[in-house]
């Protein structure tokens, strides 16, 4: 994550004000239909089959479209590139009928063959797509991705003609339509990919402004590194007549204090988050722009179980039990989150995960003693890394102190820029690392399949054959939801007994949203469908909040 220093952001504010002749971005944006959007971090890239982060998702969601999209209020699947679909009685065959008006930004028709090419690319063993497992419900997709099946023609996706795509699944997959609006399953333009390299070549110039060919409601106009990304309404998008925004400007607002100030002076319509110490302030304002909602996500610490001293499960349990999550939430988090003891948020589709532990100082000290470090004596060097953001630092400092108070150990903490942090997590160059997982679809599977052996996002070293069997084989074959959830419960119990992660809290979404922003309802996934967003020019005032 690239840090935008306060001086640079200050200069940016002055520049933006000067460019508008004193008129704020919000006021001018309302007149011109341009949304000014705080996006958190500088995106790692814009290739749907390479990136993994939330900041990347926000931009890609505007530039590309999958077979389905989400209704922004209900989260139910709605037509995207596919105008309709049919599902067989056994739930294992899907036939998607593509909209014949769906176009790439260069005017080419979006075809079923484009999806076959794109899914081959997403699953290619050399692609290194950490989200490849999203397509594993498809027949032979996993075998191809693992390099065990050389011929992609044997994977269960076929173009019957230009506008008909047939997909065969290993087993009924209740959330499959939800997967079709995740960017890892989005199509890319085959001739453009091939122009700049092989099908599996990563980070080629095809995502540059001058080269990109995309199929979403907006086109990439400008990418000024560490300044902004500008997208403008597409002339070729099939549903362009219903797209009300003329453009979106995404700002890398990693410094959340500066982001909040940008909102207050009218430079942003929307912030990615709210500084923790400002939440009570905004809650005290009438008609507050602060929007807080339940959010399908878990904030946790990854543990590299291959490195000392955290390769000992007793050390991992000691670290976890020494954290007083209730106290953390009531103080540092301003009562804005919910303490977490598992990876899956409670109540996901009605599923209730196990709770195997809680804050227990005595048990934590006993586990550490059993591991050979009574009273913290002789405890070796241990480091926690986190991506640069003030709230992550506050949480890390608080937990660092809890570990000192309860276990009498010193744990170093270190912040890293987003891209460096992602590389270190991916390469497992860490002992403990901050992590957050936001559901890509509403189902417990989306959290539990993170930890299958060699999974693209399993950066812990955890591997359990029984766990893999439960998640990959037995749960998909379950006949009822009750049976399926029982298998998930067994798997999550195995996971938390071995503790390759330390859950911290269940998220809520917290944003500042200007009153002019419409068509952006709160929902469990904090999902925005930009083709429905619009700006009311009659709403001009921001909230009066003092420093």
**For range 11-22, the mean pLDDT:** 45
Average pLDDT, the chain: 93
> Contact, 138 vs 167, CB < 8 A?
yes
Pairing of strands 247-251, 34-38: parallel
Instruction: Return the pLDDT at 233.
Output: 98
Instruction: Return the pLDDT at 19.
Output: 43
Instruction: Return the pLDDT at 539.
Output: 85
Instruction: Return the pLDDT at 545.
Output: 60
Instruction: Return the pLDDT at 374.
Output: 97
Please, which pLDDT band fits residue 466 given cuts at 50, 70 and 90? very high
**For range 429-448, the mean pLDDT:** 94
- Distance between CA atoms of 316 and 307, rounded to whole angstroms? 12
Tens of pLDDT, residue by residue over 181-218, are 999 999 999 999 999 999 999 999 999 999 999 999 99
**For range 307-318, the mean pLDDT:** 98
Tens of pLDDT, residue by residue over 382-423, are 999 999 989 999 999 999 999 999 999 999 999 999 889 999
Instruction: Return the pLDDT at 39.
Output: 96
Query: What structural domains does the chain harbor?
Result: 6-45+216-271+513-535 (3.40.190.10), 67-202 (3.90.76.10), 295-508 (3.10.105.10)
Cα-flanking dihedrals φ and ψ of residue 107, to 5°?
100, -15
The pLDDT of residue 44 is above 60: yes
The beta-strand segments (E) located in 9-156 are 34-38, 68-70, 77-79, 82-87, 93-98
**For range 468-494, the mean pLDDT:** 94
Whole-angstrom CA distances from 532 to 110, 512, 520 are 22, 19, 8
Please, which pLDDT band fits residue 547 given cuts at 50, 70 and 90? low
Pairing of strands 77-79, 68-70: antiparallel
Comparing CA positions, the residue from 452, 370, 421 lying closest to residue 55 is 421
Pairing of strands 383-387, 412-416: parallel
């Amino acid at each position: 994550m690239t840090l935008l220093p306060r001086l640079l952001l200050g200069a940016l504010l002055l520049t933006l004000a000067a460019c508008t002749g004193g008129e704020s971005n919000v006021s001018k944006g309302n007149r011109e239909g341009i949304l000014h959007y705080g996006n958190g971090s500088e995106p790692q890239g814009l290739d749907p089959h390479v990136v993994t982060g939330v900041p990347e998702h926000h931009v890609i969601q505007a530039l590309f479209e999958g077979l389905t999209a989400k209704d922004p209020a209900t989260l139910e699947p709605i037509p995207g590139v596919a105008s309709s679909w049919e599902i067989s009685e056994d739930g294992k065959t899907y036939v998607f009928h593509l909209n014949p008006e769906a176009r790439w930004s260069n005017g080419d028709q979006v075809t079923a063959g484009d999806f076959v090419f794109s899914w081959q690319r997403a699953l290619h063993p050399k692609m290194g797509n950490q989200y490849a497992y999203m397509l594993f419900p498809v027949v032979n997709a996993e075998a191809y991705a693992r390099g065990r099946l050389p011929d992609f023609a044997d994977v269960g996706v076929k173009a019957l003609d230009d506008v008909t795509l047939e997909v065969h699944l290993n087993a009924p997959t209740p959330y499959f339509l939800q997967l079709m609006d995740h960017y890892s399953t989005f199509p890319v333009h085959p001739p453009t990919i091939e122009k700049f390299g092989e099908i599996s070549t990563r980070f080629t110039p095809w995502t540059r402004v001058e080269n990109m060919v995309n199929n979403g409601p907006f086109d990439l106009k400008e990418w000024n590194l560490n300044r902004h990304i500008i997208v403008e309404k597409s002339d070729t998008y099939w549903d362009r007549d219903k797209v009300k925004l003329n453009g979106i400007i995404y700002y890398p607002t990693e410094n959340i204090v500066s982001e909040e100030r940008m909102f207050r002076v009218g430079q942003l319509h929307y912030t990615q988050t709210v500084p923790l110490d400002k939440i009570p302030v905004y809650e005290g304002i009438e008609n507050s722009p602060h929007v807080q909602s339940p959010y399908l996500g878990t904030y946790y610490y990854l543990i590299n179980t291959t490195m000392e001293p955290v390769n000992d499960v007793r050390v991992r349990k000691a670290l976890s039990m020494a954290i007083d999550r209730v106290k953390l939430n009531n103080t540092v988090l301003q009562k804005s989150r919910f303490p977490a003891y598992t990876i899956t948020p409670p109540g996901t589709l009605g599923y209730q995960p196990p709770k195997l532990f809680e804050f227990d100082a005595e048990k934590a000290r006993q586990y550490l003693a059993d591991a050979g470090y009574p009273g913290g004596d002789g405890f070796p060097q241990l480091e926690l890394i986190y991506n640069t953001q003030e709230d992550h630092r506050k949480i890390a400092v608080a937990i660092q102190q809890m570990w000192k108070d309860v276990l009498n150990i010193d744990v170093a903490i270190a912040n890293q820029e987003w891209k460096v942090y992602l590389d270190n997590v991916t390469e497992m160059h860490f002992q403990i690392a901050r992590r957050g997982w936001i559901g890509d679809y509403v189902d417990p599977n989306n959290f539990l399949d993170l930890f299958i052996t060699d999974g693209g996002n399993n950066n812990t070293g955890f591997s359990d054959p029984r766990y893999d069997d439960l998640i990959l084989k037995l749960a998909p074959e379950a006949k009822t939801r009750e049976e399926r959830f029982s298998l998930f419960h067994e798997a999550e119990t195995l996971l938390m007994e071995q503790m390759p992660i330390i859950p911290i809290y269940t998220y809520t979404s917290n944003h500042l949203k200007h009153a002019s922003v419409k068509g952006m309802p709160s929902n469990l996934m904090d999902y925005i469908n930009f083709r429905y967003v619009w700006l009311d020019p009659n709403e001009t005032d921001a909230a009066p909040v003092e420093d």
